[in-house]
Amino acid sequence: MRTSISAFIAGVIGVQLLPSLPTSGWLAALCGGCLLAQASRRRVLAAALFGVCWALWRGQLGLDDRLPLAFDGAVLHVSGQITGLPTVSPAGSHFNIKVHTLSAGVRRVVGPQRLSLSLYGNSLTPTAGSTCELYVRARVPRGTRNPGSFDYEGWLFASGIDGLGQVIAHPANQCQAAHTHWHLDAARASIAAAIGQAVSNPEEAGILRALAVGERAQMTPRQWQVLRDTGTTHMVSISGLHVSMVALFVYWLTRRIVGLVPPLARRLPAPHAALLLGYLAALLYALLAGFTVPTQRSVLMLACLFARRWSGHALMDTDGLLLALACVLLADPLAVLTASCWLTFGAMGVLVVVTIVLRRSGPLERWLGVHLWLALALAPLLALVIPSVSWTSPIANALAVPVVTFGVVPLVLLGIVLNPAGPALATGSWHLAAWLWRWVWMGLEWLAEHGPAVMLTQSPGTAVAALVSVGLLLWLLPLGRQRGWFALLLVASLALVPAPRPADGRVIVNVLDVGQGLAVVVQTHAHVLVFDTGPRTFTGRDAGADIVLPFLRTIGAPRIDRLIVSHADSDHAGGLPALLQALPVGVLTLSPPHLWPVAVDRCRAGQRWVWDGVVFTLLHPDSTGGTALGENNASCVLQVATGAQRVLLTGDIEAPAERRLLQQPTALAAAVLVVPHHGSKTSSTAAFVAAVRPNFAVFSVGHLNRFGMPSPQVLARYMAVGAEILDTRRDGALRIEVAPEGIEVTRWRQVARRYWHQ
């Protein structure tokens, strides 16, 4: 049975690695093979094929529901109901809507069930549970694609988001509020508002809201930083931990109460009553949290574990966890795309092993041992999500988890129960919860200040992280003396995987996919240069933190030897603060006409240096020009040369700066050109294109960008000189390896493609 369940899980996981789904004919053949294997009693093969067929069918259903490409960028009319709690900020709001009808004029759009919408400005205030009629500019679910970065498209697919959109101004836009007494999300919003009114400290109110209804939008960056540094972010997430703890607490309490009342025990044995009420408590708490995908998985996992316990098995063992994982994947095969699924089951697996090994230890030793080994074994897996290791995590969790789980959370829930009958009693309960949290927070802040997390300069791959976790757990298992050497080898696998480096005389130019902006990472054998840092938007998206830094960790860069920001536009300089805060920078070079908050080396034509046989030369602006030509034309222009091959990085220069470059004695001919100003029609003049005559023209542009870049005329000019067009919105991040003997291009959307990617 265990082998068959494992085969089913492996089949589901294998499908998620496919670059595209097979045709319906292949699916029918696989289903036929599954039936034949079952008939011939090859149960393991049948289970694996069933997992493959099930995941393929569910994956195709998900693809069929997505917004068709024909409506990408179109204005659509959507009628539906807001689900979950809208995220509100001074810039506007963000919310999900369950689609009732979707149309483009008189044409109905079939497929999408749920859209994720943004509304900028305060013309309309959507509330939880509202029924709305809106006009939106729709987009297919799509995100940037870079090595080491979060797969936004995969997250949207796993979350059931079938399309994106921005609400546009229209006189017919309207929302009708839901009745709070019967609509779950409206009731959750009412509870969040009541907590905000009762607790005057906004930071403490934000924590209580997160623990009560799963609303974490009001938590501050400082709070998230302290929680990350102490390895306690899971405490404010209503998922596996809190749902399970609530269930186990009610289970334990019910067993004791029913056992003290013989008439109750005769009607329903105490263990069975405890299981029923414990599961009911978990279900109610999950509903209170909005019944999000992580809480759904937690409830389903508990159902499997409690059902096994009802039939006489242990509450938690390896067979139970395997069965629970199979049940979760049977309900939702796409769960394997989420980090929360693997962290939940990883934590439960570690708990099973640690509990068995430490079962004969004293209570204090067991409690401390559980948190120590949980922190150690999960650290490599957490490093895949948060690139840091918190060495204070065992202490922080050992002290904070009991107080939050058995003190703060019950008081928060008690306040919710009391609020309809007596708001004053609810306020008192929430005040007491805030007071308890205050003490917890003081301890977490002290630990974060005196023992901050160690930031990783190299991200472990998934396989390496799993090997390191297994190696750490081997120290616990009674496998003889040889386990130590094997465990050390597994733990050392992180250091045995070298970061990729070009040889001397070669250079790798990585043009990252940052949307409408520019960020380029140039690698030589022993040096790293960053040219521009990508955008930072008013909605909080920071390409420096979200894209450039994760990429630098994939190549194992502990520092930036030189950081050049071509000019001060936010789409080129927005990520600068995040990079300066995270990594040491050898030389910071910025364009002349701008006032920067730090001491910098001014970008000047004629600057030249050599790294590992590769020559770097700044061509623009010169000592007299640039500043008088405007901000874009003052952009730094960098030439990178190895042998006869040259790469030209041009920032946002336009026609005036291009004319100045043409007057210089330095040859502009380049094999690779990062096209000026994203392909704007104000740049790439015919004379400039003819002088550079690139083999590869690279456009760094955003999908459906409002500027319409690149210009069709500019594209035509580069194609006329024989250049191959590379486009980050189509190709994702571009890895261009330049050597004296030739150039090799790798397109990230091709090499890392999965079937859900657009």
Closest among 108, 109, 116 to 69, alpha carbons compared: 109
Tell me the pLDDT of the chain averaged across its residues.
85
Q: Which tokens hold the place of 380? A: 């490599």
Buried b (16+ CB within 10 A) or exposed e, 85-112: bbebeeebbbbbbebeebeeeeeebeeb
- 145-171: pLDDT as tens digits: 999 888 999 999 998 999 999 999 888
CB 739 within 8 A of CB 646: no
- 408-452: pLDDT as tens digits: 888 988 888 888 888 888 889 999 999 999 999 999 999 888 877
Strands 601-602, 585-590: parallel, antiparallel or unpaired by DSSP?
A: parallel
**Got the DSSP string for 448-472?**
HHHSPPEEPSSPPPHHHHHHHHHHH
pLDDT of residue 520: 97
CB 612 within 8 A of CB 524: yes
Percentage of residues in the chain with pLDDT exceeding 90?
37
**Got the DSSP string for 143-192?**
----TTS--HHHHHHHTT--EEEEE---TT-EEEPPPTTT-HHHHHHHHH
Pick the CATH number of 507-751 from 1.20.140.10, 3.40.720.10, 3.40.50.150, 3.60.15.10: 3.60.15.10
- 185-238: pLDDT as tens digits: 888 888 888 888 888 898 988 889 888 888 887 888 888 888 888 888 877 776
pLDDT of residue 180: 61
Q: Is the pLDDT of residue 366 over 90?
A: no
Give the Cα separation of 242 and 748 in Å (integer): 38
Q: Is the pLDDT of residue 11 over 70?
A: yes
pLDDT of residue 500: 76
User: What is the rounded end-to-end Cα distance, in angstroms, of the chain?
Assistant: 38
Question: Across the beta sheet with 560-565, what order do the strands follow?
Answer: 601-602, 585-590, 560-565, 528-533, 519-523, 507-511, 734-739, 742-747
Helix (H) or strand (E) holding 737: strand 734-739
Q: Is the pLDDT of residue 662 over 80?
A: yes
Lowest mean pLDDT across 401-405, 523-527, 676-680: 401-405
Give the Cα separation of 393 and 52 in Å (integer): 38
The partner residues of 618 in beta bridges, in order of sequence, read 638
- 702-753: pLDDT as tens digits: 998 888 899 999 999 999 999 999 999 999 999 999 998 899 999 999 999 9
Buried b (16+ CB within 10 A) or exposed e, 216-240: bebbeeebeebbbbbbbbbbbbbbb
Average pLDDT over residues 119-134: 85
Q: Is the pLDDT of residue 503 over 70?
A: yes
Closest among 297, 313, 295, 296 to 305, alpha carbons compared: 313
Lowest mean pLDDT across 437-451, 478-492, 599-613: 478-492
Q: Is 383 exposed, middle or buried (0-12, 13-18, 19+ CB in 10 A)?
A: buried
pLDDT of residue 290: 75
Q: Is 637 helix (H, G, I), strand (E, B) or coil?
A: strand
Give the Cα separation of 80 and 429 in Å (integer): 37
Give the Cα separation of 420 and 261 in Å (integer): 30
Q: Is the pLDDT of residue 485 over 80?
A: no
Q: Within a 10 A sphere around the Cβ of 261, how many other Cβ atoms?
A: 11
Average pLDDT over residues 121-132: 83
pLDDT of residue 141: 93
Residue at token pair 């316990």: 309
Give the Cα separation of 355 and 459 in Å (integer): 30
Lowest mean pLDDT across 24-33, 447-456, 614-623, 659-668: 447-456
Residue range 69-176 forms a domain whose CATH class is mainly beta
Torsion sign (Cα): 95, 101, 102, 104: negative
pLDDT of residue 622: 79
CA 664 to chain centre: 46
Q: Which tokens hold the place of 401? A: 């988890």
Average pLDDT over residues 396-403: 83
Band the pLDDT of 625: cuts 50, 70, 90.
very low
Output 340 or 507, whichever has higher pLDDT: 507
**Got the DSSP string for 536-551?**
B-TTS-BHIIIIIHHH
Q: What torsion, rounded to 10 degrees, do the Cα atoms 595, 601, 607, 611 define?
A: -130
Can you point out the beta strands (E) in 402-534?
A: 454-455, 507-511, 519-523, 528-533
**Got the DSSP string for 156-167?**
HHHTT--EEEEE
Closest among 748, 742, 754 to 727, alpha carbons compared: 748
Backbone angles phi, psi at 90, to 5 degrees: -55, -30
Average pLDDT over residues 530-559: 89
Average pLDDT over residues 20-48: 85
Output 494 or 222, whichever has higher pLDDT: 222
Q: Is the pLDDT of residue 688 over 50?
A: yes
Give the Cα separation of 330 and 632 in Å (integer): 54
Q: Is 506 helix (H, G, I), strand (E, B) or coil?
A: coil
How far from 203 is each of 209, 397, 442, 540, CA to CA, in Å?
10, 20, 13, 19
Question: In the chain, what are the domain boundaries?
Answer: 2-64, 69-176, 184-231+402-451, 238-357, 462-495, 507-751
- 52-100: pLDDT as tens digits: 999 999 999 999 999 999 999 999 999 999 988 888 877 788 899 999 9
Percentage of residues in the chain with pLDDT exceeding 70?
92
